[in-house]
Amino acid sequence: MKNRTREQRGLGKYDAPLRVQQTMGYNSFKRGDHVNPYPLDTMQYREWNRGYNKAYYDNLNWVRKYETRARGRTVFKGEVQHVGF
């Protein structure tokens, strides 16, 4: 099978390597950088956002898992909690 050129595959010069932009987006979330460095309407911009969103949801799942576990031990230790009106 013959390799097709980037042009034949419909790719521009900014379309690859996309893994780099995705990793940059993921790491940007971890560092707290919330500004996408790529121009709008480019594949790089979308891949950076995809990496950023992946890191966001990974972090959200981690927080949900460990926050509820820690909160459950301290709040529901067998004590009866009364709410006064």
Annotated domain spans of the chain: 18-31+41-75
Q: How far is CA 54 from CA 7, 20, 42, 73, in A?
A: 29, 14, 19, 29
Q: What is the predicted pLDDT for the residue at 25?
A: 94
Task: Give me the pLDDT at residue 75, please.
Answer: 52
pTM (predicted TM-score): 0.62
Q: How confident is the model at residue 8 (pLDDT cuts 50, 70, 90)?
A: confident
Per-residue pLDDT of 22-74, as tens digits, reads 999 999 999 998 999 999 988 889 999 999 999 999 999 988 887 766 555 55
Can you give the pLDDT at residue 15? 63
